[in-house]
Structure 1
Amino acid sequence: LSLNETCLAGRDSGTLRKQAPLWLKLEAIVFLGSNTPNSIITFWISVCRMTRVVFLHPDLGIGGAERLVVDAAVALKSRGCSVQIWTAHYDPTHCFSETQDPNLHVKCVGDWLPTSVFGYLHALCAYLRMVYVALYLVFLSGVEYDVIFCDQVSVCIPVLRLSRHRKKVLFYCHFPDQLLTQRKSFLKKLYRTPIDWLEERTTGMADMILVNSQFTAGIFRETFHSLSSVQADVLYPSLNTCTFDQPSTEAQSLEGLLPEGTSCLFLSLNRYERKKNLGLALEALAALRSSLPQGQRAGIHLVVAGGYDDRVPENVQHYTELKELAAQLHLEDCVTFLRSPSDSQKVALLREHFGIVPVEAMYCCCPVIAVNSGGPLESVADGETGFLCEPTAEAFSKAMEKLIREPQLRRDMGQAGRKRVQDRALIGHHLCSLATYTLESFRMAAIHLWLRCFWSRS
């Protein structure tokens, strides 16, 4: 079905509009053909209004997961859904600009709860904060909703099941949390055992499970053995193209950020976390400079930009580590570290020559250099829209050097990347998929509501 065919009628509509999904018309005929007028009216009231969606996210800051939630919320809202985002932390000075739109309701509860205990128990505290958010939503908020989009933390799903009228829950798994931590001591293993069990158990309680790539889907099956029979559908992160299609403001956004004479700019865009391997970009730049003659080195510059939060010790520590590494490699004048860049700065940088954020970079006509594993394998065409390399400084530096020495190749790859994004519908397809998953959950909820009404009258 196309998006137009899957749109629901507005709340104030007294009849089913033309855009009402065909499956609703068919199911209405099948399920309601011989039943009472009151039950029919009850069913259609539940169907013929906008779908009410609540997003649950642990920390609505600046990062890839937050970008996905915000883009998904904006996308569903643009398709006529009533949308709210609930979170345990929200800072208006450290967030994506879309969340400051008064038409997109963001509710923060439970921020008074600790994020750690003396620098430890981060996962446990995150679980408790999300459980509190879910309890508040279900029992204290008075908010009516049809579908819940639960992001990252699954432990709150059992609480959501306590709703008087059970709602449908979509759980989005970016990556199994238990694989993102180390277990070097016996105490850490003991601490993680019940948390890992809870993660797997509660994830399986969702009505629908979504993952961000085929790679993650494979890891999901390998990690959660008890969920091997559960289908995890792939919903790739969407791209808000409006941000990139706005009139150019590069001059103002990059003023004072780049040194004069910069002729070739490389960009690494990731959160300041050790697992992102940001040091690889610095090591690759050092290897690149050593392979080029003196005259070609002068105009090369690297910008390391990404999400940064003073409340997160790892962000602070890793930022310092990267600065020290740059000094060791004698790159102080060749690297700019940018913490939590604004949307305009990010767009301006991506409109330059190079990017390591695959889909956004390709849409901005930037060739991509990425590690040959995980998500980039599904989005980057090696040798066509960029290069997929081994995670070594030598491999990355060779790809960087090739783009420097062959300007036409750089332009061709940039154009091929944008065409790939457009041709493969990496934008519209993701939005359509999200709408389909949400409406499918709403469809199940509406049928369950009708069945309750039917049996109560039988």
Structure 2
Amino acid sequence: MVRVSFLHPDLGIGGAERLVVDAALALKKKGHEVNFITSHHDPNHCFTETRDGTIPVIVVGEWLPRNIFGKFFALCAYVKMVYAASYMFFLGDRPDVVFCDLVSVCIPVLHLYIPHVIYYCHHPDQLLSSPGSTWKSFYRAPLNYLEEITTGQADKIFVNSKYTAAVFKDTFKRLNVDPEVLYPSINTEYFDKTRLVSLERALDKKLPEDSIIFLSINRYERKKNLNLAIEALAELKSLVTDEDYKRVHLIMAGGYDKRVEENVDHYVELTGLADELQVTEKITFLRSPSDINKVSILNHCDALIYTPPNEHFGIVPLEAMYAKKLVIANNSGGPTESIIDGVTGFLVDLSGKAFAEKMAIVVKDKTIGLKFGTAGKERFIKTFSFTAFSNQLDQSIQNFSERKKSN
């Protein structure tokens, strides 16, 4: 048994959070002792396993600011993670291994008293920062340098896809490191055990029984390109009969944190776009649906629309594939590794028309959803199973343990 602590900045709801929670669950099932150390954890905005005691959570440094006058988010995140890492020095039973992600600057601090550190790179942080003024470039320069140098100090580096591995190598040119691809998976046991609620209860509204339901799941962030799903819905009207179009409904579900200004603003933007394109009555917006409701709407929908361009990997398509749902996604980034075009879903150009054309196929031929969904489930089991994910992660932990014994 190895003691493993997961160090994560904000343990809310998102793809990165889902991955680290699943990683903790995987190691716990392998007999290891796991917990989370984070700077923020809201019981009303988190995954069930971190709320119900399945995985202990320690909150450290929540009093530290998330920003300074609406600026310096990255710097504040770095400070909060270094503070959380320093906290481990005072633990009675220090972990044998720390698994951290998103912010690497804490790694040198951890190495002062933690034997082994794993770093999971979802995507280089410096590439997530939007371009700005010359002043911002000066501000980011030392942070970017620190990210690269400290990332290279991890004992093991995972990335979530071959696409991210290539971006990693191209971004961190100083590092002579070949990161290992650890494809995310999902906690299929939870999916299997979850007792589905009716669609009416999940949406708090009733839809006609013959509805054709498209689902979009993503955080309310502009980089997720959610407006594309709404534009595609509007474009679809000219591609199918009026009778079929009446049956179509779009569910927009995603993580929403009222503390995050972009979440609040973008939600308003999307509802405004729906009104402008005259499709408001055909859309249901869900903000931070519960885990049970999320699994339920996945199982009740006919197809998933996944709109982010150059997504680092994308956990939602895996969830849809496991639920036997056809996936329509942009032909870039991680989805090109998870989805087989024309077999488990469709990979399309980044335009409302391109998405609408594939949506029309689903509307006109419901059997294609069943066919592609079955193929998707088979691909998930073969390539992205929770067992494969757990075994690969556990092997790295065991290698650390054996190395410690040999020393």
TM over 0.5: yes
Letter in 2 for 1:243: Y
Corresponding residue SS for 1:398 = helix
**Cα displacement string for residues 304-358 of structure 1 (whole angstroms, at most 9, x for unaligned residues):** 1111101111111111111111111111101111110101111111112112421
Tell me the equivalent position of 1:93. 44
**Cα displacement string for residues 116-142 of structure 1 (whole angstroms, at most 9, x for unaligned residues):** 00110000000000000001112x222
Tell me the equivalent position of 2:303. 354
Tell me the equivalent position of 1:25. none
Tell me the equivalent position of 2:380. 421
Contact 1:367 1:414 in 2 (8 A): yes
Residue 231 of structure 1: which of 178, 190, 194 is its match? 178
Measure how far apart 1:430 and its partner are. 1.1
Contact 1:262 1:300 in 2 (8 A): no
Task: Establish whether residue 130 from structure 1 lines up as the match of residue 77 from structure 2.
Answer: no
Tell me the equivalent position of 1:375. 334
Measure how far apart 1:426 and its partner are. 2.9
Tell me the equivalent position of 1:298. 246
Tell me the equivalent position of 1:156. 106
Task: Establish whether residue 141 from structure 1 lines up as the match of residue 100 from structure 2.
Answer: no
Contact 1:258 1:336 in 2 (8 A): no
Contact 1:372 1:389 in 2 (8 A): yes
Q: What CA distance in whole angstroms lies between the structure 2 residues aligned with 1:176 and 1:75?
A: 25
Contact 1:168 1:442 in 2 (8 A): no
Contact 2:199 2:206 in 1 (8 A): no
Tell me the equivalent position of 1:335. 283
Q: What CA distance in whole angstroms lies between the structure 2 residues aligned with 1:333 and 1:278?
A: 17
Measure how far apart 1:181 and its partner are. 1.3
Matches within 5 A, 1:258-407: 258-260=206-208, 263-351=211-299, 352-355=301-304, 356=306, 357-407=316-366
Contact 2:165 2:179 in 1 (8 A): yes
Corresponding residue SS for 1:314 = helix
**Cα displacement string for residues 169-207 of structure 1 (whole angstroms, at most 9, x for unaligned residues):** 000000001111122211111110011001001000100
Q: What CA distance in whole angstroms lies between the structure 1 residues aligned with 2:127 and 2:206?
A: 37
Calculate the TM-score normalised by the size of structure 1.
Answer: 0.84
Contact 2:160 2:184 in 1 (8 A): yes
Corresponding residue SS for 1:225 = coil
Calculate the TM-score normalised by the size of structure 2.
Answer: 0.94
Residue 58 of structure 1: which of 1, 5, 9 is its match? 9
Contact 1:257 1:336 in 2 (8 A): no
Measure how far apart 1:293 and its partner are. 2.2
Q: What CA distance in whole angstroms lies between the structure 1 residues aligned with 2:399 and 2:65?
A: 37
Contact 1:421 1:427 in 2 (8 A): no
Q: What CA distance in whole angstroms lies between the structure 2 residues aligned with 1:220 and 1:181?
A: 15
Measure how far apart 1:447 and its partner are. 2.9
Contact 1:52 1:83 in 2 (8 A): yes
Contact 2:200 2:206 in 1 (8 A): no
Measure how far apart 1:291 and its partner are. 2.2
Structure 2 unaligned regions, length at least 5: 307-315
Structure 1 unaligned regions, length at least 5: 1-49, 449-458
**Cα displacement string for residues 266-323 of structure 1 (whole angstroms, at most 9, x for unaligned residues):** 1110111111111111111110123222211111111111111011111111111111
Q: Structure 1 67/425 Cα, relative in aligned 2: closer, same or farther at 3 Å?
A: closer
Letter in 1 for 2:334: G
**Cα displacement string for residues 403-456 of structure 1 (whole angstroms, at most 9, x for unaligned residues):** 1111111111111111111233532211111111222222223333xxxxxxxx
Q: How many percent of aligned residue pairs carry the same amino acid?
A: 49
Q: What CA distance in whole angstroms lies between the structure 2 residues aligned with 1:180 and 1:257?
A: 37
Contact 1:381 1:387 in 2 (8 A): yes
Corresponding residue SS for 1:226 = coil
Letter in 1 for 2:184: P
Tell me the equivalent position of 1:205. 153
Q: What CA distance in whole angstroms lies between the structure 1 residues aligned with 2:383 and 2:169?
A: 26
Q: Which runs of 4+ in 1 moved over 6 A?
A: none
Q: What CA distance in whole angstroms lies between the structure 2 residues aligned with 1:181 and 1:326?
A: 28
Residue 244 of structure 1: which of 166, 191, 204 is its match? 191
Tell me the equivalent position of 1:120. 71
Tell me the equivalent position of 2:368. 409
Tell me the equivalent position of 2:311. none
Letter in 2 for 1:137: M
Contact 1:97 1:343 in 2 (8 A): yes
Tell me the equivalent position of 2:389. 430
Equivalences, count: 395
Task: Give the number of the structure whose alpha-carbon radius of gyration is greater.
Answer: 1
**Cα displacement string for residues 386-408 of structure 1 (whole angstroms, at most 9, x for unaligned residues):** 00001111110001001111111
Corresponding residue SS for 1:265 = strand
Task: Establish whether residue 443 from structure 1 lines up as the match of residue 369 from structure 2.
Answer: no
Q: Structure 1 253/431 Cα, relative in aligned 2: closer, same or farther at 3 Å?
A: farther
Q: Structure 1 64/425 Cα, relative in aligned 2: closer, same or farther at 3 Å?
A: closer
Letter in 2 for 1:96: F
